[in-house]
Amino acid sequence: MQAQLARRSLLAALFTAAPDTSAALPPPDAVTHLLNRTSFGIDGYALARVGEIGRDAFIDEQLHPAGVDDSALERLLGSFQTLSMSNAEIMRTYAAGDQSARRVPQRQLRDATVLRQCYSRRQLLEVMVEFWSNHFNITHSEGRSRYYKTGDDRDVIRRFALGRFGELLQASARSPAMLAYLDNASNVVDGPNENYARELMELHTLGVDGGYTEGDVKEVARCFTGWGIRNHEYHFFANRHDYGAKTVLGQVLPANRGEEDGVAVLDLLAAHPSTARFIASKLLRRFVEDAPAAAQVDAIAAVFRQSQGDIRATLEAVLKSELFLAAADRKLRRPAEYVSACLRTCAATIGGEHGLRIVTTALTAQGQAPLDWPAPNGYPDVQGYWLNTAALLLRWNFALALFQRRIGAALYVDAATLRGAANTPAGLVDSLADCLLHRPLTAYARTLLADYAAAGGDPAAVLPPARLDSTTRELGALLLASPYHQYR
């Protein structure tokens, strides 16, 4: 108990500005900042690759992930048979089984998400997959979505994550997972359902203040009557469609058209100025800061519109902008980012299903289990939602537990490799800060950690072998729990 109180006291001090320092952390260098924002945490491969080809070339490479060798991850995912199955195959194989069988598709997609975020070399793609999964949120644990979400992840989100927004929007509208989740599969002429129409404009395109009315919601719902599911795939039911004339956002859609009513609405929304601003604001919120300035939003929205919704071009404009370069530490890592960053920077080993259970249990406890936000708006992406005492305590406990596990455990860190030749409290602080944080500590934080590790002794004195491993693990956990690792 006394050791636990001492850790908490130290962490509290690290989260508070020292009397002789500013409140700001020493800024990371440009490479560390780039990797913190474009990945789920820094690892040795990414650092070496940026050093080899340079920052801008690395951005370009990550924006074209097909050229990045990810065969090691693909082998790791080889046993997850549901990832390549059609909706019909998944339903036929698992939906009629016992409770354990019915959970297999959901568990495999959740575990694959964790493994991709931790091990993929196509990290920017994984960041954008998470971004669009959140944008077009489908709660994975509900109804048919637990079976259909696998295909949505593969054929909609991953396929178009760096493509054109209009194509992504069209694919999402036809996704059986989305059709079931937002009830458009039950939207028929004699019983219109407005759920999808409302979320399409509020959450997927225009934004809540994007200029649409309740009348537009009703008209858009009419446009999508007949869009449904047959044999677990998208199907347009002509006999369920409303063939009357419609008016959406002031544009008249003539009578006696079928599926093209919905197609026209999606094209109209994808090209709308409000959509450009809404997507630009969300990209800036993800990659730059929680509340981007209007001028920043306008600049990125202009790129989005000029490129006809080219996600890759828009994202490149964000990542190569001055505002991105100046935005270090303005974002708090959400749980998925924090846990993955811990595992990636430590080169932690996830041992099979048991190791994955430890990770997903931690994510659930911290409030961000993969694909499991219960509402259509997706997990929040602002610090105010995630930063509180209870949440920080869960993160601290995860970091401490991670470093306590020895080689051979289901989830473990090789502490000896991390510390290298360091053998004094001060040397351990420097070595671990360098390999775990990739950024400088303040003199105050370095002294605080070195004195804690010395336990009343000399921070420059060589530690006895009996204390070297335990001190390494203690310091490693404290660094990951510190604000230097909580922010990106």
The predicted-structure confidence for 368-384, as pLDDT tens digits, reads as follows 999 999 999 999 999 99
Arithmetic mean of pLDDT, 442-456: 93
- pLDDT tens-place string over residues 17-31: 544 444 568 889 999
- For residue 78, the number of C-alpha atoms closer than 13 Å in the C-beta half-sphere is 7
Partners of 331 in the β-ladder: none
Give the DSSP H/E element, type plus range, for residue 346. Answer: none
pLDDT for 464 beyond 70: yes
Integer Cα distance of 230 and 446 in angstroms: 62
pLDDT recorded at residue 21: 41
- pLDDT tens-place string over residues 76-135: 999 999 999 999 999 999 999 898 999 999 999 999 999 999 999 999 999 999 999 999
| pLDDT range class, residue 2, cuts 50, 70, 90 | low
- What's the predicted TM-score (pTM) here? 0.95
As given in the structure block, the two tokens for residue 182 are: 């937002």
Integer Cα distance of 10 and 408 in angstroms: 30
Give the DSSP H/E element, type plus range, for residue 471. Answer: helix 465-481
Arithmetic mean of pLDDT, 45-68: 97
pLDDT for 44 beyond 70: yes
pLDDT recorded at residue 8: 65
Identify the sign of the CA torsion 453, 459, 460, 466. negative
As given in the structure block, the two tokens for residue 209 are: 């203040």
Give the DSSP H/E element, type plus range, for residue 350. Answer: strand 349-350
Q: How many other CB atoms are there within 10 angstroms of residue 346's CB atom?
A: 25
Identify the sign of the CA torsion 317, 323, 326, 331. negative
As given in the structure block, the two tokens for residue 416 are: 């000896």
| pLDDT range class, residue 16, cuts 50, 70, 90 | low
- pLDDT tens-place string over residues 196-228: 999 999 999 999 999 999 999 999 999 999 999
Integer Cα distance of 178 and 45 in angstroms: 36
Q: What is the mean pLDDT of the chain?
A: 95
pLDDT recorded at residue 22: 42
